[in-house]
Structure 1
């Protein structure tokens, strides 16, 4: 049984019972799966050119823009979060200070740290101290909207307000948030999300927002034919005419990844992120209550319960262990039956 008003969409997924690991990767809805199978069949026999496949890149870009309240001209496509951060990191002046969470996923840490040889300083603080640590001297705040290891949801308005006071840039990794947590780019300089988790797409389709002021500061370090103003006129030669707006930061897309991404993103829009949020958080809180934990606003539950990993494995439940803690994540295809199955598996540990 589902909760949160998603019943009419439940038949679009075919999860094996006990999948509680969307924070590792999401399961494709049937429209995305079928679209991908169709183009793979075409690819196998050479039935078409690549241009129809690439229409999915445009659809994905437009869907992402609508989700986060961005102008589509400020949205770029790529392959990974870390690669998307390269031009931003390269634009930081020598000696700049980057503030992050001390458990931040390294795709939003290493792109800054590789510039330590020119004085870039990366400082990690506990998440509950992040906002208070946004003080003069910080040039850029790089943090996840939802932490991968703990599931903690960032107070994004507070981060934006504190950063605005000192003129610091705000760069958000939304990979563990977009698809279930309502987000907008208001006050943010960059918001980047890989789509293979909560947006339930093939790995290799990343989308990002760059504010106009940040676009002006950055050099398109990965510019290629796809970043050209006229894509089809940018195949050969030494003349370069890059696209206006964020499209000049495009990386040439992995076509099939975006073929799967476009219908998945559009389905998330159709269902509504608010609806998905209610469903996910309700299930996560039901699981939390069964563990004796207080309620939360996150779809990810992280807890230190010795023996949980083995208990889940024995019961056929797929979750994850991150930073030594059990991590269970609940998405639109998760059900109350999944919650009860998980709690039943853990019951002997809770009573010991």
Structure 2
């Protein structure tokens, strides 16, 4: 199969001027998405706000995301952040409920549960999450891929353990959707931001709910959560949406106007193909690091590579227009569809000097 990096139609979608290896922080916006934002801003400036078109973009992005994770559109809510949706689920748990999380997982997923002082929050090593589920566990909340080091959770074992003990699962796929194929049906809830591997602007996020979402109270429901939004603008909402749209936040329309184009590109190429490309580059980087005497954290199959103790090198790399990040003291590189083997070699060359 021809590498994505050699696909001219893919290269033409991006205008990067650096060696950008930092998608785990923020993805690069495709040209089509950037053009859509510019056009929408121009319309706003001209006194023609595109509200109805903007809400159409939200729905288009929702539909594409639903196809990417293999569920019906009616199960997908559109919002802005993982923290808000984790908070939504935290407020729906009864006092005394036990929540199992992974040590040092991303705070947007973990902290909303910690804010409920009447919950039992148990934090265990990532490799022990499945074994930590027990009778009486209400929810397991874990990232599919760890932000700090790229380790991939054993999602199948976590799913099976949760089902065995009657617990529900919340998977944060923010570091996975777009390159790691996921079936949202395997879990009770799946949440992700769009501004990383889905390459949207900040302000787009999705929550996948079960078909029966009656156990979750839409505590922040506003007019957009109504079955008929434009008839739900004043007073209490007479009828909440029958679908997961009842959990929608009032959307950042510019972000979603871009998101529909970014998601369309991901869908056209396919997470499987993108993932194979990304992980091949990550493996090339790992091999190069080994040749330089550096040992990354073991994260087989991940598009993220993290090297302990080298986080301080991120600034020097940045000075050379090689963009990585410093996370928990790790030098973290993240490879996506716009990256090439030349990008890997450039980063290794700067590290070697």
| TM-score bucket (shorter structure) | over 0.9
Aligned partner of residue 109 in structure 1, secondary structure: helix
Distance in 1 of aligned mates of 2:58 and 2:314: 38
Match for residue 126 of structure 1?
A: 125
Please give the TM-score of this superposition, normalised by the length of structure 1. Answer: 0.94
Seen in structure 2, the aligned counterparts of structure 1 residues 272 and 49 have a Cα distance that, compared at 3 Å, is closer
Distance in 2 of aligned mates of 1:142 and 1:243: 26
Mapped contact 2:224–2:248 kept (Cα < 8 A): yes
Distance in 1 of aligned mates of 2:68 and 2:299: 26
The answer as to 2:240 corresponding to 1:242 is yes
Match for residue 179 of structure 2?
A: 180
The answer as to 2:63 corresponding to 1:58 is no
Match for residue 324 of structure 2?
A: 319
Distance in 1 of aligned mates of 2:126 and 2:236: 47
Mapped contact 1:5–1:275 kept (Cα < 8 A): no
Equivalent residue runs for 1:13-28 within 5 Å: 13-28=14-29
Equivalent residue runs for 1:152-171 within 5 Å: 152-171=151-170
Mapped contact 1:6–1:279 kept (Cα < 8 A): no
- The structural deviation recorded for 1:242 is 0.8
Seen in structure 2, the aligned counterparts of structure 1 residues 264 and 239 have a Cα distance that, compared at 3 Å, is closer
Aligned partner of residue 19 in structure 2, secondary structure: coil
Equivalent residue runs for 1:1-352 within 5 Å: 3-4=3-4, 7=7, 8-116=9-117, 118=118, 120-213=119-212, 215-238=213-236, 240-292=238-290, 293=295, 296-306=300-310, 308-348=313-353
Distance in 2 of aligned mates of 1:280 and 1:36: 27
Please give the TM-score of this superposition, normalised by the length of structure 2. Answer: 0.94
C-alpha RMSD of matched pairs (Å): 1.6
- The structural deviation recorded for 1:85 is 2.0
Seen in structure 2, the aligned counterparts of structure 1 residues 162 and 344 have a Cα distance that, compared at 3 Å, is same
Aligned partner of residue 16 in structure 2, secondary structure: coil
Mapped contact 2:178–2:197 kept (Cα < 8 A): yes
- The structural deviation recorded for 1:121 is 1.5
Aligned length: 344
Q: What are structure 2's unaligned runs of at least 5 residues?
A: none
Seen in structure 2, the aligned counterparts of structure 1 residues 92 and 48 have a Cα distance that, compared at 3 Å, is closer
Distance in 1 of aligned mates of 2:203 and 2:88: 19
Mapped contact 2:5–2:340 kept (Cα < 8 A): no
